[in-house]
Amino acid sequence: MPEYRMIDADCHVVEPPHIWEKWLPSEFLDRAPKLVKDEEGGDAWQLQPDVPPMKIGLVATPGMRFEDMKWAGYTYDDVRKGCWEGNARLEDMDFDGIDAEFIYPSQRTMWYFMGNEDKEFHRAGVAAYNDYMNDEFCSADPERLFALAQMPNLGVQEAIAEMRRCKAKGARGVIISAWPSGEDDLSEADDEFFTAAAELDMPVSIHILIHRKRDVKPPTEGAAGIAGMALAGTLAFPPLMCEMIMSGLFDRVPGLQVVGVETEVGWVPGVLEQVDNFYWRNRTHTGVSIREVPSYYFHKHFTCTFIQDRHGVKNRHAVGVRNMAWSTDYPHHGCDWPYSRKIALEMMENVPADERYQICAGNMVDLYKLPQTLETPR
């Protein structure tokens, strides 16, 4: 039976045109996102009447030249069906040499529901997306398509209930977009959720950042927009990682595993050096009391995904071979389909085979307790 050799640790879908009619309860359809045309005739999702529509262009780019990538002007008829249809995705994976994928929800869409004050609408929208992923998209091949379930932002008990529901359906882990308690800052009020995740063997992912009420929306256009996209994970995730470590969370919940998604990894050695240094100097007057130095917790509890990070690969031993996982970001504009495998192998040209396996597949196999081989021959 074939082994898992190339596992995509972070990819996505584009919501199919029928998603809300099929999966959202009928009483909420009047407020569901509506498919409209953008200014160039492309498809976009209208979330609210007074807000510009959410265009599909840069999140549906497989096979496009860089020069053709743009937000507006692309329709569902123009882009690859693998963006939203499970069987078509499997065909794209086969052509790209990808054995399995861990698939994250669209945070733009999720936050439309999670930012709504109507708790029933919030709950229904998140559940509808999770059901689409588990019962429709990933049902094409549950041995190769693994859904990460979105957690609602309705308090710890609601998050635990949705995590249990999704695990029973087949979800392999969860993604949080806000701290489970709903507060701006992490606290011991969140421990019950993280304890439940550890007990259920559900790694907890953070896709770049945690939403807070005090946040300012980053720019998406021009030079500032490029900087924001290029440095999003590098700038946003390290403070979150430190917040989790310094809070003592991992002393209280030693079984918890966290995935930093789309964060890249080249920053890790320098950040850990500085955090350890300043922890020793300031732990007493700040009142921070953890059992180990911060870098210990990173190497024991964190896995970070990257797309192209040659610096991180060269410094993999300082990052931690066990702490990094390759990804494609399909179908977003960071992906290299259909040359993902080629780019990955060139990036790891001088990496020994055992380490290359761990980074490209083994760490995901271990983290999510996958079988070493696919049960169904390909």
Burial classification of residue 214, based on how many CB atoms lie within 10 Å of its CB (0-12 exposed, 13-18 middle, 19 or more buried): exposed
In this structure, the number of other CB atoms found within 10 A of the CB of residue 22 comes to 13
Residue 98 domain flag: yes
Residue 13 domain flag: yes
Per-residue pLDDT 10s for the chain (378 aa) are 568 999 999 999 999 999 999 999 999 999 999 999 999 999 999 998 888 999 999 999 999 999 999 999 999 999 999 999 999 999 999 999 999 999 999 999 999 999 999 999 999 999 999 999 999 999 999 999 999 999 999 999 999 999 999 999 999 999 999 999 999 999 999 999 999 999 999 999 999 889 877 665 655 566 556 566 566 767 789 999 999 999 999 999 999 999 999 999 999 999 999 999 999 999 999 999 999 999 999 999 999 999 999 999 999 999 999 999 999 999 999 999 999 999 999 999 999 999 999 999 999 999 999 987 776 655
CATH number at residue 359: 3.20.20.140
Domain ranges, residue 201: 7-367
The closest alpha carbon to 241, from 264, 258, 223, belongs to 258
Whole-number Å distance between alpha carbons of 218 and 225: 8
Strand pairing of 54-55 and 43-46? antiparallel
Torsion of CA 310, 315, 321, 326, to 10 degrees: -10
DSSP-assigned beta bridge partners for residue 173: 148
Whole-number Å distance between alpha carbons of 175 and 173: 7
Residue 373 domain flag: no
Whole-number Å distance between alpha carbons of 377 and 3: 10
Residue 182 domain flag: yes
User: What total of structural domains would you count in the chain?
Assistant: 1
Residue 217 domain flag: yes
Residue 288 domain flag: yes
Burial classification of residue 324, based on how many CB atoms lie within 10 Å of its CB (0-12 exposed, 13-18 middle, 19 or more buried): buried
Burial classification of residue 309, based on how many CB atoms lie within 10 Å of its CB (0-12 exposed, 13-18 middle, 19 or more buried): buried
Residue 357 domain flag: yes
Residue 324's contacts (CB-CB under 8 Å, 6 or more residues apart) are: 265, 303, 304, 305, 306, 312, 316, 359, 363
Residue 76 domain flag: yes
